[in-house]
Structure 1
Amino acid sequence: MATAEIAVALPALVLVTVLALWAVAVASTHLACVDAARAGSRAAARGESLDAVRAVVARSAPRGATVTVERGPDSVQVTVSTTVRPPALSGLPPLSVQAHAKAETEPGAQPE
């Protein structure tokens, strides 16, 4: 009798474990995007060139992330986004993760 109950419970336990691990991967990717966006907005606020800002973001962004830098007269905004693929054969859709960071342009900073 216990064998039948284990046979029913084991797939559910595996599914819950896979979902929990995927949730940790999504959270970790989101934190990496947030860190990258913050670092990029600080660099852009200092007046660094667009290439330098992208290099700063690329150091901490997840692989394959897209970066958008918007410069205004008083502030800069950096957006980092990527897609997190679910575990194979789980049947779940990929999730899009985004992070935005905005910073005021420092006095005397000349955007290149």
Structure 2
Amino acid sequence: MIGRRRSGRHGRGRDQGSFTAELAAGLPALMLLLLVGLTAVLAVATRMQCLDAARDGAMAGARGEAAAPAAARVAPAGADITVSTGPDSVTVEVRARIRVLGARLPMVTVTSAATAAREPEIVV
């Protein structure tokens, strides 16, 4: 028994290929999770930018200024801006499309809206 060696089949050699197989199976799932996470971060950042633009446009419209140009200064490139005026308020909606991180995937539309009460006119 002293001179006998164990063969590689019963020792450490049994699991040699399992790590590679697990990595090959799990890597696509990890890449998909990364893709979804990056897209979510991009969507939230774009939504915040749309919300800022809608707020700026609504506040400008409430003061009697042009709402659409005020919103366009802050809005993401290519955003659609809709201004609705009522007797007491101004509502600005900003809609932007973002491309999901993948050329063949559909685009995601992000929308934000803000409403501001009209300021009273000063009669001199």
Q: TM-score range by the shorter chain?
A: 0.7 to 0.9
The number of aligned residues is 105
Runs of 4+ in 1 over 2 A off after TM superposition: none
The residue number in structure 2 matching 1:82 is: 96
The amino acid of 2:84's aligned partner reads E
Confirm or deny: 8 A CA contact 2:96 2:109 kept in the other structure: yes
Unaligned runs of 5+ in 2: 1-17
Instruction: Give secondary structure in 2 for the equivalent of 1:103.
Output: strand
The residue number in structure 1 matching 2:10 is: none
Instruction: Give secondary structure in 1 for the equivalent of 2:95.
Output: strand
1:40-71: CA deviation from partner (whole Å, max 9, x where unpaired): 0000000013xxx2222112111100101111
Cα separation, 2, equivalents of 1:81 and 1:4: 45
- Using CA pairs below 8 Å that are at least 6 residues apart, which structure has the higher relative contact order? 1
Identity among equivalent pairs (%) = 45
Confirm or deny: 8 A CA contact 2:38 2:101 kept in the other structure: no
Instruction: Give secondary structure in 2 for the equivalent of 1:28.
Output: helix
Unaligned runs of 5+ in 1: none
The residue number in structure 1 matching 2:54 is: 37
The residue number in structure 2 matching 1:11 is: 28
User: RMSD value over aligned CA atoms?
Assistant: 1.3
The residue number in structure 2 matching 1:108 is: 121
Cα separation, 2, equivalents of 1:58 and 1:40: 8
